[in-house]
């Protein structure tokens, strides 16, 4: 770091210039029916009313015992919400709707193959299925309150059923995204200390039935290597009665859920009344180190927060058909496919497959057939659908009243296509900024009450007060045109409780940087550091620039550079590895790996392929690098640190900046000539980058 001073820009020094976008106003038809249409709501959630304002969200739930303290700050930054309250999340998402909506669809599940029938699962059926699976977990697996159970499930109804069954028992679920590798799943099993793995034999992806059970075997083996034993693997079958995997069932360890469930028919499991502060689930995410972090979310605060934000920001009404086109394996799916919408008693669409299968008209056919009114997706999907089928949406007779974008910055141009073509100019859009750690939205416009501005998420949401600080903790003023680190000044009910098993890292990563006084029990002294760079316009709207902590956001998936690098280093021939982001038309960012080989090893295509394979094995296919460059040496500081910003600049054809402080400045030109010549040959020269993108590349790796 010391050797770097002078060349390294802090976020706060970066002046960001872009064209101010024009406002778009919500359609009158939307305003007339919105859940939040009276500006008095801003008053109700004003800072003077904090934290009691969040009673409004908690009151959307059914409590077994009311809480006595809204926010307990006695042990900062381990905030406690709704202390003294008791409730059950499964009861709130299922049982309480039976009286009025027993026969309403909770989920409409759309299989990827169009030849397979769409399935509606009513609240009544969901109730039965959740109870029966809860009974199986309790009586066959012996899990108890507070135990952890890991899932490695794709986008099938069995996933929410499994989640709600755990919630019913007070058991903590930990879903690992279905696209992650067996090894990645095994690491998460070991970290969470769960002894049960719930998986599925196969699922459809691009028309192909994937052998998913094979990954369970790898996961169990990896967990065992890490000293963790898995007692039972519960295997749901994509087609009950028919096993789709080639991997053999291990006697005494592996069981077909559909077989076992016969013994639990009609069994009813009383929902366990849990303290508001009991953990509901873990969701692993990437950060600055190789080890993934298990974000622990609470029961009462989390559920209240996702219910309230689903109501006001997703504008869900009982008669809406809501489709969040995300994977439940990510936080978006937990909060805005499962817990928020079900808590409100909504009908939610769940789709198994990829967006453009078998053609880019598919999402719009689903929307037309099911009468979807609210559509929620990520910029990467929007970009892909725009590229593959720019003229498809008008061919279908659907009408959205509301659309969401989440997970990455959206280019104004892509936003406009979403608004004009996908939304047919009839829908309001919310651009929701938040993170796995946050439980629910942090930045967004309130759809009927604030105009939209393409590329900006908007101000902080109700009861959330963001601020931008520079490196020294001084406030970067709105309208200054300067960027800095976006932080949240106050706690909110959806904030995660800790990193599972690593409370010190929780404090250090998220609170240490801007804590004013470690002794203080006043929340005002403990701003939450989000790890994103941002700029605030004069109107108070935030524009999120991206991560400041060595996380590369690929198609909305957070990949840690350290994880990618340690996966590459599992290849015997590799001496050093560095991961950098490269601008990608569809995925936002893609990963490029730079590796150097050990002495005496000759670079070859085979080694590149080994690195790619290692990354797929350790993390998953989603992390496969766009390019792997074998270089003679990495550009390094005199203290031996790899200068990621220099290679990032080479990959993106931007200025490498001052390299005179490097220990080996000579390698920079060699690498540049080699890499850029190859890229030109492959037609991979990026479009002209925006000033913000150039700054992002310049600043890459500064977190070290
Ligand atoms: C980025 C996803 C710009 C951001 C819910 C954040 C966004 C990271 C937006 C979290 C948005 C998320 N505009 N950037 N609307 N939403 N991000 O944990 O960098 O998978 O820190 O949570 O995605 O990703 P995560």
Predicted pLDDT at 196 = 98
Q: Is 234 helix (H, G, I), strand (E, B) or coil?
A: strand
Point out the ligand 1 atom lying closest to the alpha carbon of residue 431. 15
Give yes or no for residue 532 CB within 6 A of ligand 1: yes
Q: 407 CB less than 6 Å from ligand 1?
A: yes
Note the pLDDT of residue 606.
97
For residue 546, the ligand 1 atom closest to its alpha carbon is 19
316-327: string of b/e by CB count within 10 Å (b at 16+)?
Answer: bbeebbbbbbbb
| CA–CA distance, 358 with 614 (Å, rounded to integer) | 30
For residue 9, pLDDT over 50 is answered with no
Cα 408 to middle of ligand 1, angstroms: 5
* 487 CA from centroid of ligand 1 (Å): 14
463 lines ligand 1 (CB under 6 A): no
Please give the distance, rounded to the nearest whole angstrom, from the Cα atom of residue 543 to the centre of ligand 1. 12
554 lines ligand 1 (CB under 6 A): no
- Predicted pLDDT at 10: 43
Ligand 1 pocket check for 409: Cβ under 6 Å:
yes
User: Pocket of ligand 1, candidates 407, 559, 700: which has the most ligand atoms within 8 Å of its Cβ, to mutate?
Assistant: 407
Taking residues 667-678, report their average pLDDT: 94
Confirm or reject: Cβ of 637 under 6 Å from ligand 1: no
| pLDDT bucket at 18, cuts 50 / 70 / 90 | low
CB of 436 within 6 A of ligand 1: the answer is: yes
Residue 546 beta carbon below 6 angstroms from any ligand 1 atom:
yes
> What average pLDDT does this structure show over 105-120?
98
CB of 408 closer than 6 A to ligand 1? Answer: yes
What pLDDT does 685 receive?
85
Query: Taken in order 236, 242, 247, 252, is the CA torsion positive or negative?
Result: positive
Residue 435 Cβ inside 6 Å of ligand 1? The answer reads yes
Position 12 pLDDT exceeds 90:
no
Q: Is 386 in the pocket of ligand 1 (CB under 6 A)?
A: no
The token pair that represents 44 in the structure block: 């109700």
| Packing angle, helices 158-169 and 123-139, rounded to 10 | 60
Span 134-164, pLDDT tens digits? 999 999 999 999 999 999 999 999 999 999 9
Task: Give the Å distance between the CA of 553 and the centre of ligand 1.
Answer: 8
Nearest CA among 144, 239, 127, 131 for reference residue 196: 144
Confirm whether pTM is higher than 0.85: yes
DSSP string, 317-356: -TT-EEEE-S-TTSHHHIIIIIIHHHHTT-EEEEE-S-TT
Query: By alpha-carbon position, which residue is closest to atom 7 of ligand 1?
Result: 408
Which residues, in sequence order, are CB contacts of 669 under 8 Å at separation 6+?
Answer: none
Ligand 1 and 544: CB distance under 6 A: yes
Q: Is the pLDDT of residue 688 over 90?
A: no
> Which H or E element spans position 696?
helix 691-699
432 pocket-lining for ligand 1 (C-beta < 6 Å): yes
Position 115 scores a pLDDT of 96
- Above 90 in pLDDT, residue 651? yes
Of the candidates 22, 21, 530, 41, the residue with the CA atom closest to the CA atom of residue 315: 41
Q: Is the pLDDT of residue 171 over 90?
A: yes
Taking only the tens place, the pLDDT of each residue in 316-340 is 999 999 999 999 999 999 999 999 9
Q: Phi and psi at residue 632, in whole multiples of 5°?
A: -65, -30
CA 316 to chain centroid, in Å, comes to: 21
CA of 547 to the centre of ligand 1 (A): 8
397 Cα to the center of ligand 1, angstroms: 31
CA–CA distance, 617 with 613 (Å, rounded to integer): 6
* 3-state secondary structure (DSSP) of residue 177: coil
Whether 13 shows a pLDDT value over 60: the answer reads no
Residues in the chain: 704
* Closest protein CA for atom 24 of ligand 1: 435
The predicted structure's pLDDT at residue 558: 87
Question: Is the C-beta atom of 543 inside 6 A of ligand 1?
Answer: no
Ligand 1 centroid–CA 411 distance in Å is: 14
Q: Give the contacts of 531 (CB within 8 A, at least 6 positions apart).
A: 287, 435, 485, 509, 547, 548, 549, 551
Distance 415 CA to ligand 1 centre (A): 16
Nearest-CA residue for ligand 1 atom 23 is 407
Pick the atom of ligand 1 nearest to 544's CA.
Answer: 3
Distance CA 482, CA 14 (A): 6
Report whether pLDDT(286) > 90.
no
Q: What is the pLDDT of residues 527-565, one digit of tens each?
A: 999 999 999 999 999 999 888 888 899 988 889 888 899
- Closest-CA residue to 303 (of 50, 58, 54, 82): 58
For residue 556, the CA-to-ligand 1 centroid distance in Å is 7
- Could you tell which of 288, 313, 378, 434 is best to mutate to test the pocket of ligand 1, judged by most ligand atoms within 8 Å of the CB? 434
Give me ligand 1 centre to Cα 545, in Å: 10
Mark 201-231 as b/e (b = at least 16 C-beta within 10 Å): bbbbbeeebbebbebbbbbbebbeeeebebe
Pocket test for ligand 1, best of 553, 588, 623 (most atoms within 8 A of CB): 553
Predicted confidence (pLDDT) at residue 3 exceeds the cutoff of 50: no
CA of 433 to the centre of ligand 1 (A): 6
> How many A from CA of 539 to the centre of ligand 1?
22
Is residue 335 within 8 Å of residue 439, measured between CB atoms?
Answer: yes
- What band does 5 get if pLDDT is binned at 50, 70 and 90? very low
Nearest CA to ligand 1 atom 6: 435
14 — pLDDT class (breaks 50, 70, 90): very low
Whether 406 lines ligand 1, by a CB cut-off of 6 Å, is: yes
pLDDT digits (tens, 9 = 90+) for 305-319: 999 999 999 999 999
Task: Give pLDDT tens digits for 88-100.
Answer: 999 999 999 999 9
User: Does the beta carbon of 331 sit less than 6 angstroms from any atom of ligand 1?
Assistant: yes
Question: What is the C-alpha separation between 467 and 485, in angstroms, rounded?
Answer: 8
C-alpha 405 – ligand 1 centre gap (Å): 10
User: What value does the mean pLDDT of the chain take?
Assistant: 94
Q: Which among 16, 22, 18, 9 is positioned nearest to 481, based on CA atoms?
A: 16
Atom in ligand 1 nearest the alpha carbon of residue 443: 15
Tens of pLDDT along 443-470?
999 999 999 999 999 999 999 999 999 9
Q: In this structure, which residue's CA is closest to atom 12 in ligand 1? A: 407
Nearest to 440 by CA among 287, 338, 292, 568: 338
Q: Above 90 in pLDDT, residue 166?
A: yes
Residue 703: the pLDDT is 53
Closest ligand 1 atom number to CA of residue 409: 3
In the reported structure, the alpha carbon of residue 558 is separated from the centroid of ligand 1 by a whole-number distance in angstroms of: 9
């Amino acid at each position: 770091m010391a050797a770097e001073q002078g060349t390294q820009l802090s976020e706060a020094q970066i002046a960001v210039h872009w064209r101010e976008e024009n406002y778009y106003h919500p359609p009158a038809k939307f305003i007339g029916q919105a859940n939040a249409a009276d500006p008095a709501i801003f008053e109700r959630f004003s800072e003077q009313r904090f934290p009691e304002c969040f009673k409004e969200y908690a009151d959307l739930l059914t409590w077994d015992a009311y809480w006595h303290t809204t926010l307990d700050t006695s042990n900062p930054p381990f905030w406690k919400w709704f202390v003294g309250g008791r409730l059950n999340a499964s009861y709130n998402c299922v049982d309480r709707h039976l009286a009025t909506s027993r026969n309403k669809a909770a989920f409409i599940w759309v299989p990827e193959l169009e030849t397979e029938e769409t399935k509606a699962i009513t609240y009544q059926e969901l109730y039965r299925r959740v109870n029966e699976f809860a009974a199986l977990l309790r009586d066959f697996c012996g899990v108890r309150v507070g135990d952890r159970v890991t899932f490695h499930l794709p986008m099938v109804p069995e996933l929410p059923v499994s989640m709600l069954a755990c919630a019913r028992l007070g058991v903590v679920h930990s879903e690992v995204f279905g696209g992650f590798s067996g090894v990645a799943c095994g690491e998460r099993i070991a970290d969470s200390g769960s002894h049960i793995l719930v998986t599925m034999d196969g699922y459809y992806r691009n028309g192909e039935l994937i052998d998913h059970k094979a990954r369970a075997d790898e996961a169990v083996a990896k967990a065992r290597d890490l000293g963790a034993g898995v007692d039972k693997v519960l295997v749901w079958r994509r087609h009950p009665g028919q096993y789709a995997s080639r991997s053999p069932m291990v006697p005494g360890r592996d069981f077909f859920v559909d077989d076992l469930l016969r013994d639990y028919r009609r069994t009813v499991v009383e929902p366990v009344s849990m303290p508001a502060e009991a953990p509901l689930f873990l969701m692993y995410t990437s950060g600055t180190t190789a080890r993934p972090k298990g974000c622990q979310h609470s029961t009462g605060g989390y559920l209240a927060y996702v219910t309230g934000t689903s109501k006001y920001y997703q504008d869900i009404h009982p008669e809406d058909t809501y489709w969040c086109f995300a994977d439940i394996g990510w936080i978006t799916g937990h909060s805005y496919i499962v817990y928020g919408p079900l808590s409100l008693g909504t009908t939610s669409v769940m789709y198994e497959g990829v967006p453009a299968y078998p053609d880019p008209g598919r999402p719009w056919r689903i929307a037309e057939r099911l009468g979807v009114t609210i559509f929620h997706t990520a910029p990467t999907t929007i970009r892909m659908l725009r590229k593959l089928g720019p003229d498809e949406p008008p061919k279908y007779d659907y009408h959205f009243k509301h659309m969401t974008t989440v997970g990455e910055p959206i280019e104004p141009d892509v936003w406009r296509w979403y608004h004009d073509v996908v939304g047919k100019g009839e829908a309001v859009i919310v651009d929701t900024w938040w993170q796995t750690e946050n439980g629910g939205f942090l930045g967004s416009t309130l759809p009927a009450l604030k105009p939209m501005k393409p590329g900006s998420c908007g101000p902080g949401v109700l009861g959330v007060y963001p601020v931008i600080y520079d490196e020294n903790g001084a406030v970067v003023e709105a309208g200054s045109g300067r960027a800095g680190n976006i932080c949240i000044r106050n706690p909110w009910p959806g904030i995660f409780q800790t990193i599972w098993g690593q409370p010190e890292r929780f404090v250090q990563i998220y609170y240490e940087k801007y804590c004013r006084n470690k002794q203080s029990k006043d929340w005002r002294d403990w701003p939450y550091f989000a790890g994103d760079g941002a700029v605030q316009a004069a109107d108070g709207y935030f524009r999120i620039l991206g991560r400041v902590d060595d996380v590369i956001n690929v198609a909305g998936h957070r990949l840690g550079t350290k994880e990618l690098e340690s996966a590459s280093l599992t290849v015997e021939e590799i001496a050093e590895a560095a991961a950098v982001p490269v601008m990608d038309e569809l995925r936002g960012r893609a990963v490029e790996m730079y590796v150097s080989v050990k002495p005496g090893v000759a670079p070859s295509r085979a080694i590149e392929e080994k690195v790619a394979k290692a990354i797929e094995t350790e993390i998953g296919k989603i992390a496969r690098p766009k390019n792997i460059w074998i270089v003679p040496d990495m550009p390094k500081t005199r203290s031996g640190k790899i200068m990621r910003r220099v290679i990032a600049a080479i990959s993106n054809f931007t200025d490498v900046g001052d390299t005179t402080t490097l220990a080996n400045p000579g390698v920079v030109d060699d690498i540049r000539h080699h890499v850029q010549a190859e890229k030109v040959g492959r037609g991979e020269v990026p479009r002209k980058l925006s000033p913000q993108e150039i700054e992002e590349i310049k600043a890459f790796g500064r977190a070290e």
